[in-house]
Amino acid sequence: MKAATYNASVDVYEEVLDNGLRVLIQDVRTAPLASVWCWYRVGSKDEGPGLTGVSHWVEHMNFKGTTNIPRDKVKGIIEQYGGYWNGYTWIDQTTYTETAARDVLDRMLFIESERMANCLYDPADCESERTVIISELQGGENDPDQLLDQELTATAFRAHPYRHPTIGWLADLQTMTREDLYGYYRRHYVPNNATLVIVGDVDRKDAMRSVVQRFGAINPGEVAKSHHTREAEQLGERRVTVSREGTTAYLKVGYHAPAVTDPDFFPLQVLDAVLTGAKGLNLWASFRTPPPQRSARLYRALVDGGFASAVNGGLVPTEQPFLYTISVTATEGTALSAVEQATLAQLEAVRRHGITEHELEKAKNQLRARLVFEGDSISNIAHQLGYFETIATWRLVPSLRESIDAVTLQQVGDAAGRCLTPTNRTVGWFDPIVS
């Protein structure tokens, strides 16, 4: 095995097996539970032409049984112990998780080792899942807000594969084969492309012994580093309008935004807290709790002003530059042109004049509170370690509060000036056709 390290400041033990599997273990003894997350550095940005949606489809297939786990037993292995399981795919990563009693740790590791090495991809299962995923895609297209978000992203990005929806484009989902799916699985689901995270009431030595037993014999693979076309600087405002039957109008304004390692990222997090309320930094947990919005600038201007029934902002940590998006639900009878004018007026004001010292401190306090809430369970703690490892390094996690505390008024103003320029934005309308 490669040299192990121990970070005393956050009690994280790190070890890399000979096959390249990175293991992170954090001892949290608040309850006799353990949470396991297995992360793969593959998401929709890694999909080639004709294969959009393959990462998400592969995730589905990896719940369909393995050489040593019959398909009808996959869920039951954890549920019989009262445990919880799940998984998701996004633009930078795919992950699977189980949380259960600490005595079930070895069974959870068994599931993930089987998922890594021995999934089956029965042709009949591949075909049935095609139907499921296409139905899921069509269901999303029937959600105006989700459809507009998809169209806005595809308009904002012309070259970088962040432009593709995680679920994929319909034409690719209709033509992908079982060989496409299985080949993608075998290329990316290898230990040297994965991070295994264990958090909970566990003994580190016992946990590592089980990890080596379950994963140590899995062979590494040839993981080619993905090369993505760098998105060129946008030269002017872009616009997209979606017209479909509906009852509610939606506005979205998207700005190209920096990756998590960019110096502007945390100043923009503070800015978003000022504009729409603090969301936090946990993709798994942050958006389940509504942000504090009553005093947020855009809430006061748009909701209290009668233009909108809801407003939200989205800036999430990503490996490469993505988007900062403002989403607005128009009130009945309010023209989208009026909603857009009111929204852009507020964004232009903050671009020109920045925020106040009071707003800065209030935003920081809200973000600090969200960090506390995001660390309230072993599952959330484990998620953050693995998520940040897939986009940069897990070592960012213990310094998140420090990064927020260090943001200055000048940094917020400078970041707003660079991000919120008219030439950097894409405006999307969902203009409903009333039948």
pLDDT tens, position by position, 41-93: 999 999 999 999 999 999 999 999 999 999 888 778 888 888 999 999 999 99
**Is residue 211 domain-resident?**
yes
The whole-angstrom separation of Cα 246 and Cα 73 is 42
**Average pLDDT value over all residues in the chain:** 95
**What pLDDT is recorded for position 120?**
96
pLDDT tens, position by position, 225-240: 777 889 999 999 999 9
Which segment of 69-78, 148-157, 345-354 scores lowest on mean pLDDT?
69-78
**Is residue 375 domain-resident?**
yes
CATH number of the structural domain spanning residue 70: 3.30.830.10
Same domain, 207 and 256: no
**Is residue 20 domain-resident?**
yes
Which domain range does residue 49 map to?
A: 5-215
Same domain, 38 and 178: yes
What is the torsional sign of CA 163, 165, 170, 175? Answer: positive
Kindly state the average pLDDT of the residues 11-33: 97
CA atoms within 13 A on the CB side of 196: 30
Same domain, 198 and 244: no
CB 57 within 8 A of CB 176: yes
**Taking CA 362 as the corner, what is the angle to CA 361 and CA 367, rounded to the nearest 5 degrees?**
95
**Taking CA 299 as the corner, what is the angle to CA 145 and CA 434, rounded to the nearest 5 degrees?**
35
CB 29 within 8 A of CB 204: no
Same domain, 176 and 244: no
**Is residue 229 domain-resident?**
no
pLDDT tens, position by position, 90-119: 999 999 999 999 999 999 999 999 999 999
**Is residue 221 domain-resident?**
no
Same domain, 325 and 210: no
What is the torsional sign of CA 377, 386, 132, 128? Answer: negative
**What pLDDT is recorded for position 354?**
97
**What pLDDT is recorded for position 8?**
46
Which residue, 5, 20, 13, is CA-closest to 216? 20
Same domain, 340 and 380: yes
**Is residue 191 domain-resident?**
yes
Name the percent of the chain lying above pLDDT 90.
88
Same domain, 327 and 374: yes
Does the pLDDT value for residue 9 go beyond 60? Answer: no
Domain boundary among 215, 230, 259: 215
CB 316 within 8 A of CB 282: no
The whole-angstrom separation of Cα 87 and Cα 97 is 6
**What pLDDT is recorded for position 6?**
52
Domain boundary among 159, 183, 215: 215
**Is residue 162 domain-resident?**
yes
Same domain, 163 and 279: no
Same domain, 245 and 206: no
Same domain, 265 and 205: no
Same domain, 167 and 267: no
**What pLDDT is recorded for position 4?**
64
How many of the other CB atoms lie within 10 Å of CB of 70? 11
How many of the other CB atoms lie within 10 Å of CB of 32? 11
Kindly state the average pLDDT of the residues 22-26: 98
Which segment of 50-54, 410-414, 431-435 scores lowest on mean pLDDT?
431-435
**Is residue 50 domain-resident?**
yes
Does the pLDDT value for residue 176 go beyond 60? Answer: yes
Kindly state the average pLDDT of the residues 11-22: 97
Same domain, 179 and 306: no
Count of the separate structural domains present in the chain: 2
pTM of the model: 0.95
